Amino acid sequence: MDDFSITGITRHLQDIMAGEFAPIAETDDQDASVRELARVLNELDRDRRQHRAAEQARDRLIIDSTPVAICITNAHGIYEYTNSRYRELTGYSREELVGRHFTLVVPPDAQEELSQLHDEFMGQRYELTGEWTIVSKDGNHIPILANAAYVIDVDGQPKKITFLVDITDVVRVREDLSREVEERRRLEHIRDNVERMLQHDLRNPIDGIRTAAEFLLDDDLGEGPNEFIRLMYDAAGRARSRIDSSMAYTQMEQGSYQIERARLNVVQLVRDVEHDIQELLTAYRTELRSVSHEANLTERYDVEVWGEVDFLQDALTNIVRNAVEAGELGTAETVTIEVREYPEGMQAEYPAPAGGDHAATAAPRRIVAPGPIAFSPVDPVVAIEVRNQADIPVEIRAQLFDPYVTFGKSAGTGLGTYTAMLIARAHGGTIVVDSGGGAGTSVTLLLPRGRVNDVR
């Protein structure tokens, strides 16, 4: 007999909400109030069941129309539901899947492994994500990304809902990129071998020229011939140096170059650069000012760093040359080189010297050369800043440190800033560029004050 006490009615309402309510018979011999109460409870149960059925139909509609392949399997790995995208992906119909084991679409060599993973999954109740391969009805192997979740279904039984995405295009792109990387490595290996052969083949004749010039100088053929022979000797020396440095740049690109450390005076470095570009300064009618602490730079200002003088001279020459060539040919302009020291680090003036991606925006105002920096914000640093009056063109600002990037130079190679970056990075330093807004450009070569590669 149905219990229509307060406790009984409460239990009936709980059963209705849980979907476990058994309809109550409505008979004429019942008291009118009891019969009315039974009618109300039965009607509530019908409404609740209809509402639940509508919700389930809506949920299945959403699941069935989603572009993600979805299947539901029970604790034994048997299909109970598949959406249309899953059936489209596998090529099987609903009737061919429901009631079958999920290994129907698993390659034979992976069936045992995935069956074991399924059992572990259902036992431990965790989410499972990974890349796998399924086999469609027509035998095609399809790479997929699968994510499975453990749920308790409306029938109170544990189920596994698996979401699958076809990643055929992703795998194809990944394989193409892998092949491209391997091809680039092969070409770089060939390039390195060619460079080594060229270095070997060129060194011998150049060394022969230098040796012959030395003998001729010893013979003292006179002031005129001796001057010509000395020029030939110096030119051969520079050519030999260039050959030796070409492999060093390759090693810098790979991060394997080891600096041959020596103490050098920054003031003398600036003076050597001034001498190297004298003809360019004359052609552009550009004045080069060297200052420190708002005063002219003099030899009495003793600033030293550790590094390779030839490479640092090349880096600074490239930076100054770019600053000069940024002006119009024949127009009187001024390029300034300023040397500064930061005995307690550079965090005040350069809050983020090792900032993130230098190409984060289309035209950043501050660009920091990519790559690791050996010094911390509190380490002593020497800054050599080169300023000119022209902004860096917006078109190349974000790619400033990429190789072969140039703008407005008929004879430019686009390697000046790139090689300067490699040299700075090999010395444990970096380059910071500020440009834009009509305020001109400053390019700052930052070098650690102490010895390169010191163990901290």
Structure confidence by residue, pLDDT tens digits, 6-42? 777 788 788 777 777 788 888 777 788 877 888 888 8
Tens digit of pLDDT for each residue in 43-84?
A: 888 888 887 777 766 666 666 767 889 999 999 999 998 998
> For position 128, what pLDDT does the model report?
73
Indicate if 197 and 223 belong to the same structural domain. Answer: yes
Q: Does 454 fall in a domain?
A: no
Last residue of a domain, one of 21, 45, 63: 63
Q: Is the pLDDT of residue 292 over 60?
A: yes
* Domain stop point among 166, 190, 209: 166
Residue 206: pLDDT over 90: no
Token pair belonging to 280: 């360019």
35 lies in some domain: yes
pLDDT digits (tens, 9 = 90+) for 76-112: 999 998 998 999 999 999 999 999 999 999 999 999 9
Task: Count Cα neighbours of 278 within 13 Å in the Cβ-side half-sphere.
Answer: 4
Give the model confidence (pLDDT) of 361-392 as tens digits.
455 688 888 887 778 878 888 999 999 998 88
Residue 393 within a domain: yes
Task: Confirm whether 455 is domain-assigned.
Answer: no
Higher pLDDT, 24 or 442: 442
Instruction: Please give the backbone phi and psi of residue 374, each rounded to the nearest 5 degrees, phi first.
Output: -80, -25
Model pLDDT, residue 441: 92
Of the residues 122, 145, 166, the one at which a domain ends: 166
In a domain, 1, yes or no: no
- What confidence tens digit (pLDDT) does each residue in 307-364 have? 888 899 999 999 999 999 887 776 778 999 999 888 887 765 654 443 444 444 455 6
Same domain for 273 and 248: no
- Label residues 203-236 b or e (16+ Cβ within 10 Å = b): eeebeebbeebeebeeeeeeeeeeeebeebbeeb
Rounded average pLDDT over 252-279: 87
Instruction: Give the number of domains in the chain.
Output: 4
376 with 267, same domain? Answer: yes
Let me know whether 213 and 313 are in one domain: no
Q: What is the 3-state secondary structure (H, E, C) of the chain?
A: CCCCCHHHHHHHHHHHHHCCCCCCCCCCCCCHHHHHHHHHHHHHHHHHHHHHHHHHHHHHHHHHHCCCEEEEEECCCEEEEECHHHHHHHCCCHHHHCCCEHHHHCCHHHHHHHHHHHHHHHHHCCCEEEEEEEECCCCCEEEEEEEEEEEECCCCCEEEEEEEEECHHHHHHHHHHHHHHHHHHHHHHHHHHHHHHHHHHHHHHHHHHHHHHHHHHHHCCCHHHHHHHHHHHHHHHHHHHHHHHHHHHHHHHHCCCCCCCEEEEHHHHHHHHHHHCHHHHHHHCEEEEEEECCEECCCCCCCEEEECHHHHHHHHHHHHHHHHHCCCCCCCEEEEEEEEEECCCCCCCCCCCCCCCCCCCCCCCEEECCCCCCCCCCCCEEEEEEEECCCCCHHHHCCCCCCCCCCCCCCCCCCHHHHHHHHHHHCCCEEEEEECCCCCEEEEEEEECCCCCCCC
Specify the pLDDT at position 5.
74
Backbone dihedral angles phi then psi of residue 144, each to the nearest 5 degrees: -135, 155
* Same domain? 101 vs 204: no
Strand partners, 386: 337, 443
* 288 & 409 share domain: yes
Q: Which of 185-199, 202-216, 404-418 has the highest mean pLDDT?
A: 202-216
Domain membership flag for residue 84 = yes
The mean pLDDT value for 298-306 works out to 72
Give me the chain's average pLDDT, please: 81
- Range of 146's domain? 66-166
Task: Decide which of 21 and 119 is more confident.
Answer: 119
Question: Has residue 339 been placed in a domain?
Answer: yes
Tell whether 10 is covered by a domain.
yes
